[in-house]
């Protein structure tokens, strides 16, 4: 049974989701979040999360478990089928996140907030988490690597470009009014991510790469 402490944390996270999505992560004061969560104690947010970064970690954690579970299930299926399929891996990146479009418990706000964080130079989460073998993105990267040329993984970081593109596009969708054609939109987004991952390097790009190596 949820405790009063759990309820307070939940209210603070929900208020932060809503306000951060509307005005940006740095555009909202901690006092405003406290007030929006109907917390009379001005130190409630600091008590539960420490600071803004702690609040953001808690916000992400609220959604990450479900996203990871969905992605691991898709990657389980991919490995069980034993067929090289770049679109299936693109779908494993996109679909778990896209499920948040229909999550009424802050899912659309989460997509907007996390897209902003993905584009920031200072990571909110520990970068070492990307090397955690239990993390679904780590597993996704491991399965994707053999399908990409070395330049894509070690020079151009195409995987991260795909991650960032996915987040930005889903955030744009989440910021608008709910639509009835989300399935079509998400399918096309998977197509676009597949094309991004598969994009060949032009001769000009290869020439510039050789020049840089010299």
Please give the Cα distance from 214 to 193 (Å, whole number): 32
Please give the Cα distance from 199 to 214 (Å, whole number): 25
Write down the residue that tokens 């309820």 correspond to. Answer: 7
The Cα-based distances of 46 to 34, 35, 113 in angstroms read: 10, 13, 20
Per-residue pLDDT tens over the stretch 41-62? 778 888 999 999 999 999 999 9
Q: Which residue has the higher pLDDT, 203 or 1?
A: 203
Tokens (6 digits) for 201: 């390097």
1 pLDDT band, cuts 50/70/90, is very low
Torsion sign (Cα): 97, 99, 105, 108: positive
Radius of gyration in angstroms for the set of CA atoms belonging to the chain, rounded to a whole number = 19
Mean of pLDDT values over 115-128: 72
- The reply to whether the predicted model has a pTM over 0.85 is yes
Write down the pLDDT at residue 213. Answer: 86
Asked whether the predicted pLDDT for residue 124 surpasses 70, the reply is: no
Please give the Cα distance from 66 to 13 (Å, whole number): 17
Tokens (6 digits) for 151: 């330049």
Asked whether the predicted pLDDT for residue 136 surpasses 60, the reply is: yes
Per-residue pLDDT tens over the stretch 205-214? 999 999 988 8
Measured in whole angstroms, the distance separating CA 186 from the mean position of its chain's CA atoms is 15
Write down the pLDDT at residue 130. Answer: 59
Strands (E), 31-174: none
């Amino acid at each position: 049974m949820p405790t009063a402490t759990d309820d307070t944390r939940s209210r603070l996270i929900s208020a932060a989701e809503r306000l951060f999505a509307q005005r940006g992560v740095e555009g909202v004061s901690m006092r405003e979040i406290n007030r929006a969560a109907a917390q009379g104690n001005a130190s409630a947010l600091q008590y539960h999360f420490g600071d803004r970064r702690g609040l953001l970690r808690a916000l992400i954690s609220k959604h990450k478990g479900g996203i990871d579970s969905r992605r691991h299930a898709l990657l389980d299926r991919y490995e069980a089928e034993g067929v090289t399929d770049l679109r299936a891996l693109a779908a494993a990146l996109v679909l778990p996140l896209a499920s948040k479009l229909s999550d009424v418990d802050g899912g659309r706000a989460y997509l907007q907030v996390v897209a902003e964080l993905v584009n920031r130079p200072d990571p909110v989460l520990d970068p070492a988490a990307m090397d955690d073998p239990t993390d679904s993105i780590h597993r996704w990267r491991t399965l994707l690597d053999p399908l990409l040329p070395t330049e894509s993984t070690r020079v151009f970081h195409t995987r991260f470009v795909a991650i960032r593109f996915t987040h930005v596009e889903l955030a744009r969708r989440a910021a608008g009014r709910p639509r009835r054609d989300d399935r079509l939109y998400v399918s096309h987004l998977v197509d676009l991510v597949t094309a991004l991952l598969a994009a060949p390097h032009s001769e000009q790009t290869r020439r510039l790469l050789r020049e840089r190596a010299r």
